[in-house]
Amino acid sequence: MASTIELAQSMPVRSKLKCWGDFALVDTTTGADLKPRGRKARALFAYLAMHPGKAISRERLAGLLWGERAEEQARASLRTALVELKPLANGSLNVLEIERDNIAVRAGSLATDLDEMQAGAGRGDYRAVLAELAEPDECLFANLDGVDEGFDEWLSIERMRQRDALTTLIADCSAAALAQGRVREARLLHARALEFDSEAIAPGS
């Protein structure tokens, strides 16, 4: 008999999260917009999505997103946000695992633009990497600033981490393409790497 993990891994991924630029979440089969209405619910999902397969305690999430509130109020607000996210835990989507003490995005249940760039690089599909690349002036979850002080602090650090990782990924793809004699793709990737690197160190950025 197949284990729960094996069954989950065999199921097609139905949801895709756009991380670079504005938060966007869609059903890859129907094209339906799955984005939660509330910004706190979106921020909650964004944080969980950046830690796929990791169970995050309700205490941690309440403190991250409702740090200015008393503990009971924060936990109540978290429960309200989880009600909004509950459709993502049911049916064919099956993205969220909501337990009594912990919440998690199920590993392998969600596609992201970050994942697809990594996958494209891994299989040498540099055109796919270029197609998924954000503009250099875009940032991670651009419309989720000002949600809460704790979340803002995490988001600032995550933005720097992901930009550094993306710059390295593009540069590595450029070098690999050049080694394979794919000069045009190598040049395009190199130009994009320079755009991201210069944006990261530009004054006032």
pLDDT in tens, the chain (205 residues): 333 333 344 457 889 999 999 999 999 989 999 999 999 999 999 999 999 999 999 999 999 999 888 889 999 999 999 999 999 998 778 899 999 999 999 999 999 999 999 999 999 999 999 998 988 889 999 999 999 999 999 999 999 999 999 999 999 999 999 999 999 999 999 999 888 876 544 333 3
Rounded Cα gap, residues 156 and 142, in angstroms: 11
Q: Are 55 and 64 in contact (CB under 8 A)?
A: no
DSSP string covering 52-74:
TT--EEHHHHHHHHSTTS-HHHH
Q: Are 86 and 36 in contact (CB under 8 A)?
A: no
Residue 19 sits at the vertex; the CA angle it makes with 15 and 22, to the nearest 5 degrees, is: 105
Amino acid at 179: A
Whole-model pTM: value is 0.87
Q: Residue 12 in 3-state DSSP?
A: coil
Q: Are 45 and 26 in contact (CB under 8 A)?
A: no
**Chain length of the chain:** 205
Amino acid at 198: S
